[in-house]
Amino acid sequence: MEPQEGPFTSLVARYKQLHNIKLINAAVAELDGNVELYVPGSNASPRASLLPEHHRRFGLKKREVSEIVVSSLTVLSLLKQNKIQEVDLLQIDTEGMDFQILCWFFDAGVEPQIVNLKHFHLSFEERAMTRKTLTDRGYWFIETEHDTFAIKETLVRLV
């Protein structure tokens, strides 16, 4: 999933030969429809976020951030529209929304065998809640400088 037009177009060009990859031009959000995406600068940015104040982490002023409207899907709509019944691997890198999106997947009944999420932009409290949530749901995890890699304990015990 990529909500920004420019990066989405690049992904389509990159993966056009791979028919087993489906790209979706939308953001995962709390509601279906449209959401504001806050983009540092006037072009597409890997620092774009659904969080209005995320730009402060980079020392940017509000006037340096563009607000664009992008399509959005809830986790349940994403799963239903794409006929997804099971997720083995969940990769999340959403500029500060990572814990929230992980919770939306769990709330939708999705518990992947493997989760990798970027915790770098999470607050101390959100990182602690991420650890607790993963532990409570039966994941073992390790943290690197920027990411949390989690694997279901039941999968580890199979090996």
Q: Report the DSSP pairing between strands 114-118 and 89-92.
A: parallel
Within 8 A by CB and 6+ apart from 56, the residues are none
**Which residue do the tokens 């969940």 mark?**
90
The model's pLDDT over 75-100, given as tens digits with 9 standing for 90+, comes to 999 999 999 999 999 999 999 999 99
List phi, psi (to 5°) of 33: 130, -115
Percent of the chain surpassing pLDDT 70: 99
pTM of the model: 0.92
pLDDT on residue 41: 82
Is the predicted pLDDT of residue 159 greater than 80, yes or no?
A: no
pLDDT above 90 for 18: yes
Give phi and psi for 127, each to the nearest 5.
-65, -40
Q: Are 150 and 116 in contact (CB under 8 A)?
A: yes
Whether the CB-CB separation of 74 and 1 falls below 8 Å is answered with: no
Other C-beta atoms lying within 10 Å of the C-beta of residue 17: 6
